[in-house]
Structure 1
Amino acid sequence: MFSETKSLGPAWVKEFLLRQESFWDVNDTGMGSWIWRKLLKLRPVARHFIRMEIHNSQTVRFWTDIWHPLGRLIDITGAVGTQKLGVQRSTRVFEVWDGINWNFRRCRDRQLCNMIQQIEQHHLDFDLSTPDVVLWKNSSSDYREWFSAVDTWHLIRHTRPTQEWSKVIWFPQGVPRFSFITWLAVKNRLSTGDRMRTWGHTQGCIFCGEPNETRDHLFFACPYTFTVWIEVVGTLLGRDPDPYWENTLDHLTHHRFDFLTSILIRLVFQVTIYMVWRERNDRKHMKNPRQASQLAKVIDKPVRNRITSTKYTQKPRLRGLLQLWFTAHM
């Protein structure tokens, strides 16, 4: 949208959506895709990341493009600046700059005079043989000719201290759908009965009839889910399973398991939370309930499937993974 690329996508956007207007000024007319309308809404954010580097000055718009450290000049002067300087809003830089001098209408406005002075003091590498370049912000002070999703994410995100329990959720052998539900459970964001009560809906534990269904009750203070947890975790914990959520999470977070055990214990923990939550929702929607031993078998299958998919026999560090799983359940 900013460079003179001949790619089909940008060319189509310029022809049918921008229609000779600047990306910063075009109105959202409802045309274009959902992504296009999202891009328009993100313009206030994007302004902090894009900068134009002038060489032949043929494509950069004087007023609306971000080529000067001051930012968009039209935002400084307002629409009246175009009249006072005699420079139209759509004017390109080459129309008011010949590579040496700037051609502005004389003006007595102090703000405009200060702006003109800063424009004249700003050094530009004029070169008719080199096209103008679009730069993208990759760090607090570094602009480059390519876009990096990782660098941009780090610039816009709000960083917070790493939670100790994060290693229980995110690990290379994890499965995203299991990790996500476990993350919601750790954050206590699953729609359990105590949370649904704030929406005017009463929901007790479907498994045992406990009037107050909470995250801590489901995992694993409930007799049904605790029975499942005992069966699927086997001897991996190195101690007897604990029905209390905080104790279980604290043990998984701080206890020093060996490498293979740490993989299995996190995997079975996540699969159990996922399957218990799915069983709870299935029963809520009148599907046939499973006994604890049946649900344990359901949990065992994706664990073994994930172990197999790691190709553990070809990786020295993972050899013995499946054998350890079977040994823990003898």
Structure 2
Amino acid sequence: MKEVGNGRHTSFWYDKWCDLGVLAEILGDRGIIDMGVRREATVEEVLNNHRRRRRHRGASLQDIEKELGKLAEKQSNSELDKDLWRWSSGFKQKFSTMETWQLIRETGLQCDWGSRVWFSKATPKFAFITWLAFKDRLSTLDRVSRWSQGIDTTCVLCKNAPETRSHIFFECAVSSHIWEQLTKGIMRNSYSNSCETVMRLISASMEKKKRFCINYALQVAMYFLWRERNKRRHGEPPMPLSVMLKLIDKTIRNKLSLVQGKRVKGLEEVLQFWFSTRL
């Protein structure tokens, strides 16, 4: 918005200089004729050309004439026009990226598991795949079939059921075995291979090293399962289940060793904790 000083650098039609809004958007091309103001006019020109105030039938035109009258009373020839930026609390001269973003974004419901995916010490590529999976935005075959009719939606890992988000990461014979081997020793009686239950579980309150192990194991498993799924979809030979499980476990142990070496508070003995939960 423009705060008018002398009006010299404020467009009458295309700048927002009053609370009514941008006049060109309100009145359109017809407004130029009704107001008797040329398209390129500045606010200074309109106020200083000694134009006689017109009587209009339209309420919008009458409101504009009122705004011009108010502006004429406080116009200052010595002050320059100022650019104002919209904040949630009104217009200010200072620009804020955060305020602008909050005003233009579409806010949605805040997910309670977001901080459990994007947590400190997470590996970005693992977290990204997990985020897409939890949002159900990966190109699983049940989603692909919506825009490509007639494709085979059978899971390429187990070849026994249609491929969905929940199936490929938790319910498939391959993924279920991997998930059980990784986390059953940690979760004990709360163990589940239901996607919805796991999403609720990672948001629950628990000991820091336990939560880190579960969350990180989940992300590594989902990443390697999705990579193996894509390889098989493109004709590459399958990786033996035992080899994949060892690779996932080694990746997790390497991360836990690195985190423990940095002496992160609450994770000082996280690697020992991981070994103690192996079945």
Same topology, TM > 0.5? yes
CA displacement, residues 254-300 of structure 1 (integer Å, 9 cap, x when unaligned)? 3x320122122112112211211111011111223212232223334
Does residue 259 (structure 1) correspond to residue 208 (structure 2)? The answer is: yes
Separation in structure 1 between the aligned mates of residue 199 and residue 278 of structure 2, nearest angstrom = 21
Distance 1:121 1:161 in 2: 43
Does residue 109 in structure 1 map to residue 56 in structure 2?
Answer: yes
Instruction: Give CA-to-partner distance per residue, 1:36-67, whole Å, 9 cap, x none.
Output: xxxxxxxxxxxxxxx11122322111111011
Q: Secondary structure at the match of 1:78?
A: helix
Q: Quick one: structure 1 residues 116 and 296, their matched pair in 2 at CA, closer, same or farther if it must change by over 3 Å? A: same
> Take 2:237 and 2:158, find their aligned partners in 1: how far apart are those partners?
16
Correspondent of 1:136 among 80, 85, 101: 85
Partner of 1:171: 119
Letter in 2 for 1:271: V
Query: 1:79: which partner in 2?
Result: 29
TM-score (norm 2): 0.82
Looking at secondary structure, tell me which structure has more helix per residue: 2
Equivalent residues in 2 for 1:279-298 (5 A)?
Answer: 279-298=228-247
Question: Aligned to 1:157, which of 93, 99, 105?
Answer: 105
Structure 2 partner of 1:268: 217
Asked if the contact 2:11/2:40 (under 8 Å) is kept, the reply is yes
Specify whether residues 317 and 191 from structure 1 end up closer, same or farther in structure 2 by C-alpha distance, changes over 3 A only.
same
What secondary structure is seen at the aligned counterpart in 2 of 1:143? strand
Q: CA RMSD in A?
A: 3.0
Cα drift, residue 308 of structure 1: 6.2
The residue type paired with residue 47 of structure 2 is W
For 2:187, what is the secondary structure of its paired residue?
coil
Greater shift in the superposed pair: 263-272 or 178-187 = 178-187
Whether the 8 Å contact between 1:228 and 1:296 is mirrored in structure 2 is yes
Letter of the structure 2 residue corresponding to residue 154 of structure 1 = Q
Change (3 A) 1:88 1:135: same
Do the aligned residues in 1 keep the contact of 2:6 with 2:80 (CA within 8 Å)?
yes
- In structure 1, what is the Cα distance between the partners aligned to 2:199 and 2:133? 11
What letter matches 2:39 in structure 1? R
The 1-side partners of 2:220 and 2:24 are apart by 56
Alpha carbons of structure 1 residues 247 and 94: separation in structure 2 relative to 1, 3 Å: closer
Task: Indicate yes or no: 2:163 matched with 1:216.
Answer: no
Where relative contact order (Cα < 8 A, 6+ residues apart) is larger, the structure is 2
Distance 1:242 1:146, change over 3 A: same
What is the one-letter code of the residue matched to 1:273? M
Three-state SS of the structure 1 residue aligned to 2:2 is strand
Query: Where does 1:3-152 land on structure 2 (aligned, <5 Å)?
Result: 51-98=1-48, 103-105=50-52, 107-111=54-58, 112-122=61-71, 126-139=75-88, 141-152=89-100
Q: In the aligned structure 2, how far is the partner of 1:308 from the partner of 1:61?
A: 64
Cα distance between partner residues in 2 of 1:253 and 1:175? 19
Corresponding position: 1:196 with 2:152: no
TM-score of the two chains, using structure 1 as the length reference: 0.71
- Aligned residue for 2:54, secondary structure, equals coil
**How far apart are the structure 2 equivalents of 1:319 and 1:103?**
79
Contact 1:225 1:292 (C-alpha < 8 Å) held by counterparts: no
Contact 1:219 1:244 in 2 (8 A): no
Gaps of 5+ in 2: none
Counterpart of 2:29, as a letter, is A
Distance, in Å, in 1 between the alignment partners of 2:223 and 2:15 is: 50
The gaps in structure 1 that reach 5 residues or longer are 1-50
Identity %: 33
Match of 1:243 among 172, 187, 193: 193
Aligned to 1:278: 227
